[in-house]
Structure 1
Amino acid sequence: MTALGTAPAPAGPGRPSGPGPGRPGGLVRTVARTHRTALALTLVALATATAALIWLHSLGDEARAGNSACATPPTDRLPSCAAVEAITVDETYASGLAVIATVLSWVMFPAAAWAGGALIGRELESGTAELAWTQSVTPARWLAAKLGAPAALLTAGTGVLVPVNVWARGDGNPNLTGDWYYPDVFVSTGPVAVAHALAGLALGALAGLVWRRALPAAGVGLAASLLLHSLLERHREDLWPPVTRTEAGSFELPRSALQVAWSDSPRHGVPLTRADFHPESHFWPLQYVESGLLLVVAATATAAAFVLLARRLP
């Protein structure tokens, strides 16, 4: 933050000199320096998750074969093959993928809390933002840099982790990786993960501008993201028209089908079964629609933040 206070004044009308925030790219570098701890933690988390996924991929074939490393008799490094309580490779593989899926699915929550608290709310509460605006940095440029840098990092990070996660899942055996329509699995295996992160960032930034204090803004941004996440999870099956199957008698849907509605009713003395469901082929339509909705939320919140900032200026 001190970099803003020591930045040199412009050498001429509208033409700043020196490495301060008024120069092109200077404000982005200032944002990176101010939030270098958060940036470093994010990069460490990305590297750790990537390394974990590469390791899990190396276990995939053995996990799918249902084998686990053991020895008879047991050794110092390998448990007894007769030990029922021994941790198996398939359990390790499934548990690891589940943790990664949860992390990717919930990334919007820390993004929203950080954006509302540290990125925007704290800057306004401490007066650092106003100081920057007096040093050849317009409020619009300040907000654009504040949002642009983390948005690029979140997009790049989740954009890399999602395909690596899909690669680590192999053939997607649902007994190991979970069915495609499980909430965490669905979000973590498509572009929805990126859209969730950007929506969380925008909602947090808007909360920061509304409350202008770090702690309340972080809480409101987190609550707004939680509400959005919950609404989409509850109504995800309604985002695309389901397939309807009607047959006389009874039948069972395949495990890969996401059941939406089920009814049994006699007609002309014949039992009739009707099922509305999403087959696995609906994964991508549902991904695209949900991603679109999240990006609309992100764009709307971002636009509202710029409008609010302009109206609050003297």
Structure 2
Amino acid sequence: MSTATLRETPAAATVTTAPRGLVRTVLRLHRGALWIWLAFVAGTTGFLLWLLGPGADTAQRALDTYGYSGLIMANGSADEYSSLFSYPDTLITLGSFAVALFAAGPLIARELESGTAQLAWTQSVSPARWLTAKLAVPAAFIVLGTCLLTAVYRQLWSAHGNLLIAGIGPRSFYFSVGPATVAAPLLGLALGALVGLAVRRTLPALALSGFAYFLVYAFRGNHWPFQGRYQQPELHSRSRAVTSAGAEIRDPGCYDDRACLAKHDIVRFTREYLPSSDYWPRQLLETGVLLALTAVAVTLAFALLRRRAADG
């Protein structure tokens, strides 16, 4: 191999055989993606904490004044809060798509296309160890980041689910506050790696991995055989009005009619969120399906890598 070739790939030329050396190499090569991921996790966590604190306080004050029916008709603060509540779910979903694109393009296909991976294999780093490091390092950051997001989102759900307007139930939100939230981007990572190894060209790998993960996401949202009526889950609730004496009465639907509120001696409103009893069995089953698909994709990726390496 010529000196000029080595100079074109300085990062790969420093690969060592030690596991720590492989980890450092992966972190150095993809530090830009790492910083983007950390910024994404920090930003989304900050938004969740705002919803948990100041955002919830504002919505609760409006709710205590007008009640749920009035807020729906007036498009008030609690109605806006209910809409904002589903935004982190959208961000987490987009993050899973980004993981699949990153795995297919910059993580795998680009290094195969440029010859960086092949150079690493000539320095006593086997293809299997190379792929293991490529998957294990980002997987660790994905698990840590999504676990944090899921924990804060779950806390938000538990603390302020009462502020959600009845009937506002994004299809995927019902499955976005549990372990399936962590398993989904891991499937994106494995699927992207498999596509990158199969295509070995950056741009086609990006397009194909995005399409493949979209199919998985669409199937997950609409056709899971165990999802049943949760294809369009409702957030069932029970709303009550509270009098100045602390008694709970049926919500009279006063809207923003202060005379009506005074007539019924209503000082605030309360709402009880009624989760489904079979939520966790379905959540855990989906997690198992996602992890099983991840294992299949990883197995196929290693098998394809062995075949590519054997063919030279």
| Consecutive unaligned residues in structure 2, runs of 5 or more | 1-8, 66-73, 238-274
Distance change (3 Å), C-alpha of 1:130 and 1:255: closer
Q: Please state if 1:312 is matched with 2:308.
A: yes
Q: Please state if 1:26 is matched with 2:34.
A: no
Distance change (3 Å), C-alpha of 1:35 and 1:126: same
Match of 1:104 in 2: 92
Counterpart Cα distance in 1 of 2:95 and 2:223: 20
Deviation at 1:179, TM superposition (A): 5.5
Report the AA paired with residue 220 of structure 2.
Answer: L
Deviation at 1:64, TM superposition (A): 3.3
Question: RMSD between aligned alpha carbons?
Answer: 2.7
Distance change (3 Å), C-alpha of 1:179 and 1:95: closer
Per-residue CA deviation, residues 173-205 of structure 1 (Å, 9 max, x unaligned), is 37349766x323123211111111000110000
Distance change (3 Å), C-alpha of 1:102 and 1:177: farther
Deviation at 1:289, TM superposition (A): 0.9
Alignment check: 8 A CA contact 1:179 1:185 kept:
no
Q: Please state if 1:124 is matched with 2:112.
A: yes
Per-residue CA deviation, residues 109-164 of structure 1 (Å, 9 max, x unaligned), is 11111110110000100000000001121100100000001111111111110110
1:1-314 map, 5 Å: 2-5=10-13, 7=14, 20-58=15-53, 59-67=55-63, 88-169=76-157, 170-173=159-162, 175-176=164-165, 182-236=170-224, 238-239=225-226, 256=236, 280-313=276-309, 314=312
Partner SS for 2:191: helix
Counterpart Cα distance in 2 of 1:140 and 1:178: 49
Match of 1:274 in 2: none
Counterpart Cα distance in 1 of 2:294 and 2:235: 34
Deviation at 1:3, TM superposition (A): 2.1
Distance change (3 Å), C-alpha of 1:196 and 1:284: same
Partner SS for 2:280: helix
Q: Which has the higher helix share?
A: 2
Per-residue CA deviation, residues 271-309 of structure 1 (Å, 9 max, x unaligned), is xxxxxxxx7111111111111111111110001000110
Distance change (3 Å), C-alpha of 1:154 and 1:177: farther
Alignment check: 8 A CA contact 1:98 1:177 kept:
no
| Consecutive unaligned residues in structure 1, runs of 5 or more | 8-19, 70-85, 243-253, 258-278
Alignment check: 8 A CA contact 1:112 1:200 kept:
yes
Alignment check: 8 A CA contact 2:100 2:213 kept:
yes
Q: TM-score, normalised by structure 1?
A: 0.73
Deviation at 1:44, TM superposition (A): 0.7
Counterpart Cα distance in 2 of 1:310 and 1:202: 16
Q: TM-score, normalised by structure 2?
A: 0.74
Deviation at 1:30, TM superposition (A): 0.6
Counterpart Cα distance in 1 of 2:131 and 2:287: 24
Higher relative contact order (CA 8 A, sep 6+): 2
Counterpart Cα distance in 1 of 2:235 and 2:174: 15
Alignment check: 8 A CA contact 1:139 1:309 kept:
yes
Distance change (3 Å), C-alpha of 1:21 and 1:97: farther
